[in-house]
Amino acid sequence: ESIDLLEVRDFLVKLAYEAGELILSKTGKTGFVDKANSVDLVTETDAAVEKLVGEKLAEKYPNFEFMGEESYVPGETKLSEKPTFVVDPIDGTTNFIHSFPFSCTSLGFTVNRIPVVGVVYNPFLKLMYTGVKGHGSFLNDEPLPLRKSFSNLTLQNALIGIEWGTQRSGPNYKCKVDTFNKLAAEDGGMIHGFRSLGSAAMNICAVAAGQLDAYWEGGCYAWDVAAGWIILSEAGGRIVGGNPGIWDPSVDQRVYLAVKGDEGTEQFIKDFWDSIVGTLEY
């Protein structure tokens, strides 16, 4: 049977506002614990938001699957072909802990493992990003992208989102450091600058809005990316790299580049992979 994607979006928007209320009510009041290491953090609010969202989705859409950051079991949880809600209750948990106002709830919906609806809501700044396959994407009521490029996108004129992520040793860390170094250096990309919003979804939405030209991550999970993926695609941009389009959540550390739609995009992607990341081990 066909799924009414606009109805799914409207329900996810409602849930995102509810999640936002809960997040705001706990800001500055939650303790945190470590997961994999001392920079991989989680709070009781992450779990509370996932429970709220998970229960309401199960009630409304009992036949759809659910995959969430806090209930993910490494090696066991798989993103299936079935209609699935892919949820990060708080993307930007470190921001949330520090009261830096760039955390959001990221609610994606995939069919055949491809995102078709995305809702990303930052309750601190009241930023509601939505995207539905075939229906465009929006920031609040404004269609995305908010602005067109000032010139063809090249490495040399790009403002690029990056994150340190949680891996701070080994090949993944080295790949990140080498990539940042090559992008910044005069004999490398010599880009305009880096920005770190501290949330994968916020970074991807900033690309969709045309505020960042690209966002490069050295490792993410499906819930960090699913909602942003369709919001960016509907704004004319795309995500390339690692394993585009298909996720296997049992495989960690997917390297990817989110890039806006622009006359220079194809060449930019080629330059990025050929001269910056392509030669590195990750």
Min dist CB 39 to ligand IPD, Å, is 10
**Which residue, 90 or 264, is less far from ligand IPD as judged by CB?**
90
162 catalytic? Reply is no
Phi and psi at residue 47, to the nearest 5°: -65, -40
Q: Do you find a cis peptide bond into 62, omega within 30 degrees of 0?
A: no
Which residue out of 45, 46, 84, 90 is catalytically annotated? 90
69 catalytic? Reply is yes
Min dist CB 190 to ligand IPD, Å, is 24
141 catalytic? Reply is no
Binding string, 171-200, against ligand IPD, x = CB under 6 A?
---------------------------xxx
Q: How many CB atoms lie within 10 A of CB 151?
A: 10
User: Torsion-angle region of residue 258: left (phi > 0), alpha (psi -120 to 50) or beta?
Assistant: beta
Residues of this chain, 64-123, that bind ligand IPD according to CB under 6 A? 69, 88, 91-93
Q: How many CB atoms lie within 10 A of CB 72?
A: 15
Residue 150, judged by CB atoms within 10 A of its CB (0-12, 13-18, 19+), counts as: exposed
Cα separation, 98 vs 101, in Å, equals 9
**Which residue, 51 or 133, is less far from ligand IPD as judged by CB?**
51
The residue ranges that bind ligand IPD (CB under 6 A) are 69, 88, 91-93, 163, 165, 198-200, 219-220, 224
Active site residues: 69, 88, 90-91, 93, 224
